[in-house]
A and B are shown apart, each in its own frame.
With several copies, the nearest count.
Chain A
């Protein structure tokens, strides 16, 4: 564990800060606001139109940063298919944004970071995850983005998705554990070893990877309090498991700041001390979650998540949303500067700690506990993922029994049932994998064991 005591964790501070060009630090004593806007529909039709779209997003964001006095910001661009599929598009789009940020940095001294999040185009059932055309193009595009001036590279890889999806639909916690915890971890190692390698040749950080395809899928399928597709306790278990999986990128050399939608990042920060991005109450136009404040608790870079690129009454969305995350970051930075960071942190946390079981799990003292459970099993990707889920279950049951966390019958039933299934799983990875391999390849047509060296 990078931290001895969860109380040592606070927003804007990481054990291992990261420095990127144009003078931006993450985790070095201040929170950086992030903005992210998806290209307008239709701009993907040609390289030229997409490049212009990228420049326009950058320009709109940077000019607002200056207009409201933000000391620093990060611009993230999540690649659409074409940006990653054509490495030369990836290069040109990144370059266009880098030029804008550099101009503002030179003119005003505003610190600016540029994140390129490549798209994970790989499809298990179409060529597999390794060595396919899609796979090779991703590697090429990462390199082109580095060349063009990206400050860091992130991704949201999809290893284990086929099995996870099956698990979600059937409420099969073993499939969820196998999909995210085991298969996901294997693919992460493949993907990030390579990505770290490429980035190391440039002034570009290999930032990290979120389990969007797993834990976030569960969170969005679970939905709000009235959602009827997945139990919120089950989504919380998936989240705990995902921490063991997303940790792999850091083990492979990713430095952070970890990607914004990794709600598991608090756990990974507790273990490794790398800075993290997060999203929450200023990402309402993109996602609905039930913990808008809690995710601020130990954040180093505060994001809005992708929104439509269009005009609002208050200006174009890159401006408007940077203003939203910029003001929240300013509040956190004020708390840091005045010595009130821990109080504000605890208020953020407590606001959502019992709104929903997912918040209970991720509240930083509890997240810390899950982190500890993970490291106890070292590099055993199966056992540590299982331990994470079991500790998460304990956390939620304790809160429920203390009458702090209220649960519906459905939430409580699934929690109990899944816990006992998890407890009954074998203590050796080999046996577990054996069991899974007997069942899932048969039941899930899109699952390609070769993609994981199985």
Chain B
């Protein structure tokens, strides 16, 4: 073990570079980030509401909501305050300044605060739309699906989570029941992803059409997903809400296949030929 001696003479830069450290700019407060500034409300009480979500501080968010409700409507609290905070969080995540647990904490804060506002409202705020999510039959890998569900919820969708190892039949039943704007499937194995074309076919045969059937996960690749109708290959879990929004706006699975990078708003290597 000559490591300490080696460490003295070696030029690490010739062996590896920690680019994550190299490109790290000076620490800036989230609220000073230019992309956050764009969405952050300038006026109170909305600013405080948004900031509490940005910092993932449940207690403060609930507190701020309670006092804001004395001044403005519950819907404004949600839409002009809390939701803006979540938009800022998404922007920070997309650029690598925020990480997954940050988002989760923010989502928790948002959920708790929203519950308070909705209570005042007297009903649950309307969700943007419903999405049904599942992991294919025989497949236990569910982290990707869990992320998808989390991002959908954080972005105001009603996400019906069917779990993992879900028989085709259950998926079809759920689609019938919830009439979702999007169905998402996750599979990480070559031998379980075969559920997707089966489900797609069964839906078609039963005359049920889903605007978009987003499919992703480890072994799943674009050409596979594009080999059956409705399928749109999903690359990153945080793309899911953007796809759902596009579907809400009337885009079909055919459109999404073609415009994926534009819809999710970033360079996507897997779709590099469609940029």
* A–B contact, 8 Å CB criterion (strictly below): yes
A binding-site residues for B, Cβ under 8 Å? 6-7, 29-30, 38-45, 49, 52-53, 55-56, 59-60, 63, 66-67, 69-71, 80-82, 85, 107-110, 120-121, 123, 125-126, 158, 165, 168-172, 217, 221, 225-226, 228-231, 308-311, 313, 316, 319, 330, 333-334, 336-339, 346, 349-356, 363, 365, 404, 406-410, 446
Q: Chain B, 18-43, contact with A by CB distance < 8 Å: what is the 0/1 string?
A: 11111110010000000000000000
Q: Are A30 and B14 in contact (CB under 8 A)?
A: yes
* A217 adjacent to B143 (CB under 8 Å): yes
Interface segment among B78-86, B117-125, B189-197: the answer is B189-197
Question: Is B250 part of the binding interface, using a Cβ–Cβ cutoff of 8 Å?
Answer: no
Which residues of B are found within 8 Å of A52, using beta-carbon distances?
A: 272-273, 275
| A226:B19 contact, CB within 8 angstroms | yes
The listed residue with most A CB atoms (<10 A of its CB), out of B102, B142, B143, B222, is B143
Residues of chain A contacted by B1 (CB below 8 angstroms): 6-7, 346, 365
B239 at the interface (CB under 8 A from A): no
Given contacts A38-B191, A63-B269, A123-B140, contact A69 B219 (CB under 8 A): no
Residues of A within 8 A of B10 (CB): 334, 337-338, 350
Contact A333 B20 (CB under 8 A): no
A313 touches B219 (CB 8 A): yes
13 further A-B pairs in the complex, CB-CB below 8 A; given A38-B190, A82-B138: A39-B191, A44-B191, A69-B19, A81-B139, A120-B140, A125-B163, A169-B104, A170-B105, A363-B3, A406-B21, A408-B18, A408-B24, A409-B27
Residue of A nearest to B92 (CB): A228
CB distance A308 to B19 under 8 Å? no
Question: Residue B126 at the A interface, CB < 8 A?
Answer: no
B164 within 8 A of partner (CB): yes
A-contact bits for B94-109, CB 8 A (1 contact / 0 none): 0010111110110000
**Does B267 sit within 8 A of A, measured CB to CB?**
yes
Instruction: Please indicate which of the listed interface residues B6, B191, B193 has the most CB atoms of chain A within 10 Å of its own CB.
Output: B191
Let me know if A228 and B191 touch, CB within 8 A: no
Give the residue name and chain of the A residue nearest to B95 (CB): A228
Interface string of B44-77 (1 = CB under 8 A from A): 0000000000000000000000000000000000
Write out the residue numbers on chain A whose beta carbons fall within 8 Å of the beta carbon of B143.
165, 168, 217, 221
Q: Which of chain B's residues have a CB closer than 8 A to the CB of A334?
A: 10, 15
Query: Which listed residue (A38, A110, A228, A354) contacts B93, Cβ 8 A?
Result: A228
Q: Flag if B2 contacts A170 (CB, 8 Å).
A: no
Among A42, A56, A365, the residue within 8 A (CB) of B269 is A56
How far apart are A377's CB and chain B's nearest CB, in angstroms?
A: 26
Q: How far, in Å, is B238 (CB) from chain A's closest CB?
A: 9
| CB-based A-B contact count at 8 angstroms | 190
Query: Do A353 and B3 touch across chains, with their CB atoms under 8 A apart?
Result: yes
Give the size of the chain B interface in residues (CB under 8 angstroms): 61
Question: Are the CB atoms of A44 and B194 closer together than 8 Å?
Answer: yes
B177 at the interface (CB under 8 A from A): no
Q: List 25 A-B contacts (CB under 8 A).
A: A39-B191, A41-B193, A43-B273, A52-B273, A53-B273, A56-B273, A59-B267, A67-B19, A81-B137, A81-B191, A81-B192, A121-B140, A169-B101, A171-B99, A225-B19, A228-B93, A228-B100, A311-B270, A313-B219, A337-B6, A337-B14, A338-B2, A338-B6, A350-B10, A407-B21
Q: Give complex CA distance A410, B9 in Å.
A: 29
Q: Which of B11, B98, B192, B222 contacts A337 (CB 8 A)?
A: B11
**Residues on the A chain within 8 Å of B101, using CB:** 169-172, 230
Query: Which 4 A-B pairs have CB atoms at the shortest separation, nearest pair first?
Result: A171-B101, A56-B272, A81-B138, A337-B10
Which residue of the partner chain, among B15, B19, B147, B150, contacts A110 with CB atoms under 8 Å?
B19
Q: Which of A38, A69, A230, A310 contacts B17 (CB 8 A)?
A: A69
Contacts of A125 in B (CB 8 A): 163
Contacts of A158 in B (CB 8 A): 140
B246 to chain A, nearest CB (A): 22
Complex CA distance for A376 and B16, rounded to whole angstroms: 35
Q: Are A339 and B9 in contact (CB under 8 A)?
A: yes
Q: How far is the CB of B18 from chain A (nearest CB, A)?
A: 5
- Cβ–Cβ < 8 Å partners of A38 in chain B: 189-191, 219
Interchain CA distance A82-B224 in the complex, whole Å: 21
Instruction: Please name the residue on chain B nearest to A51 by beta carbon.
Output: B273
Q: In the complex the two chains form, is A337's CB within 8 Å of B269's CB?
A: no
Contacts A59-B267, A71-B17; is A228 near B273 (CB within 8 Å)? no
In this complex, the member of A52, A69, A158, A349 whose beta carbon has the largest number of chain B beta carbons within 10 angstroms is A69
Asked whether, in the complex, the Cβ of A165 is within 8 Å of the Cβ of B146, the reply is yes
User: In the complex, A370 Cα to B100 Cα: how many Å?
Assistant: 28
Q: Do A231 and B20 touch across chains, with their CB atoms under 8 A apart?
A: no
Q: Give A38's nearest chain B residue, CB to CB.
A: B190
Task: Determine the distance from Cα of A92 to Cα of B153 in the docked complex, in whole angstroms.
Answer: 44
Closest to B98 in A: A228
Minimum CB–CB distance for B237 against chain A, Å: 9
CB contacts (< 8 Å) of B221 on chain A: these are 310-311
The chain B residue sitting closest to A345, CB to CB, is: B1
* Interface assignment of B7: CB less than 8 Å from any CB of chain A: yes
Contact of A230 among B22, B99, B163, B189 (CB under 8 A): B99
Assess whether A169 is in contact with B150, with CB atoms less than 8 Å apart. yes
A126 with B273: CB separation less than 8 A: no
Q: Using Cβ atoms and an 8 Å threshold, which residues of chain B touch A45?
A: 194
Residues of B within 8 A of A330 (CB): 15-16
- Could you tell me the distance between the alpha carbons of A356 and B143 in the complex, rounded to whole angstroms? 23
Q: Does B13 contact A (CB under 8 A)?
A: yes
* Contact A350 B16, beta carbon cutoff 8 Å: no
User: Are A226 and B18 in contact (CB-based, < 8 A)?
Assistant: no
Distance, CA A121 to CA B138, complexed state (A):
8
Residues on the B chain within 8 Å of A225, using CB: 18-20
The answer to whether B269 and A60 touch across the interface, beta carbons within 8 angstroms, is yes
Contact A346 B104 (CB under 8 A): no
Q: Do A313 and B16 touch across chains, with their CB atoms under 8 A apart?
A: no
A29 in contact with B14 (CB, 8 Å): yes
CB within 8 Å for A355 and B18 given contacts A81-B191, A230-B99, A339-B9: yes
